[in-house]
A and B are shown apart, each in its own frame.
Chain A
Amino acid sequence: MIADTTHIKKVADAVQSWLQPDNNSLKQAIDRTVDEKLFSFHDIKHQILHLKNSLTEENLKKWVEHSGAPLPFSSDKTVLCLHAGNLPLVGLQDLLAVTLTGLNYRGKLSRKDPWLLPTLIQTLDEQGVPGERNYSTKLQDFRDQQSDAVIFAGSEESVTEVIHSLQNYGIADENTPRLMRTAHYSIAYITDHSERTMKDLTEAVFRYGGTGCRSVGIVVAPFSLNSQKCHFTDYVESFWLKNPQHNNPENDLFYRYATNKAVGIEQAWLDNFLIEETDKRPEDRFILHWIKGDEKTLLDIVNKYSNGLQSVYTSSGILPQSLFDRTEFEIDELWKAQKPDIWWKPDGVDTIEWLSKRFNSFGKAS
Chain B
Amino acid sequence: MSSNIEHKILDSSVSFNSRALSVFNFQRTNNPIYRTFCEVFGIKENLHSEQDISHIPLIPIRVFKERAIKSFQGAPDVIFQSSGTSNMERSEHHLKSADLYRTVIEKEFYRYFPKDKTTVLCYTPGYAENSHSSLIWMLNHLIEQDPTGLSRFLPLGKPLKKDLFLELDNEHRNVILFGAAFGLMDLIDLHSDSLPETVQIIETGGMKTHRRAITKSELRGSLSDGFKIPLKQIHSEYGMCELLSQSYAIGGEWFQPPEWVKIIIRDPKNPERSCPPGEEGKIGIIDLANLYSCSFILTDDRGVMNENGMFKVLGRWNDNDLRGCNFLVEQEVE
Contact = CB atoms under 8 A, between A and B. Distances in A.
Interface of A: 82-87, 90, 108, 110-112, 139, 152-155, 158, 161-162, 165-166, 181-185, 210-213, 215, 217, 249-252, 255-259, 261-265, 282-285, 308
Contacts of B14: none
Given A155-B329, A262-B34, A263-B63, 7 more contacts: A110-B332, A165-B334, A181-B326, A184-B322, A263-B33, A282-B323, A285-B321
A262 B37 contact: yes
Interface of B: 33-34, 36-37, 40-41, 57, 59-60, 62-63, 66-67, 268-272, 298, 319, 321-334
Given A85-B328, A90-B325, A251-B270, A162 B333 contact: yes
A210 B323 contact: yes
A249 B63 CA distance: 21
B93 to A, nearest CB: 15
Contact of A155 (B327, B332, B333): B327
The 4 nearest A-B residue pairs measured at CB: A184-B324, A262-B37, A250-B269, A258-B40
A82 B322 CA distance: 18
Interface centre among A215, A249, A252 (most CB of B within 10 A): A252
Nearest to A304: B87
A262 B36 contact: yes
A162 B330 contact: yes
B60 A84 contact: no
Given A212-B324, A284-B322, A251 B272 contact: yes
B329 A158 contact: yes
Contacts of A185: 323-324
Contacts of A153: 324-326, 328-329
26 contacts: A84-B326, A110-B332, A111-B331, A111-B332, A154-B329, A155-B327, A158-B329, A183-B326, A184-B325, A215-B323, A217-B323, A250-B270, A251-B271, A251-B272, A252-B269, A258-B37, A259-B63, A261-B36, A261-B40, A262-B36, A262-B40, A262-B63, A263-B67, A264-B67, A283-B322, A283-B323
A247 B127 CA distance: 43
Q: Give the dominant DSSP class at B's interface.
A: mixed
A211 B59 contact: no
A183 B324 CA distance: 7
A182 B323 CA distance: 11
Contacts of A85: 325, 328
Contacts of B271: 251-252, 255
Interface centre among B59, B272, B321 (most CB of A within 10 A): B321
A152 B298 CA distance: 35
Given A212-B324, A258-B37, A252 B270 contact: yes
Contacts of B333: 82, 108, 139, 161-162, 165-166
A256 B34 CA distance: 14
Contacts of B62: 259
B323 to A, nearest CB: 5
B40 A251 contact: no
Nearest to A250: B269
Contact of B326 (A155, A256, A262): A155
Nearest to B36: A262
Nearest to B69: A263
A284 B62 CA distance: 15
Given A84-B329, A161-B330, A252-B269, A258 B57 contact: yes
Contacts of A82: 329, 332-333
Contacts of B36: 261-262
Nearest to A285: B323
Nearest to A108: B332
Nearest to A109: B332
Interface centre among A86, A110, A251, A258 (most CB of B within 10 A): A258
A259 B326 contact: no
B268 A252 contact: yes
A161 to B, nearest CB: 5
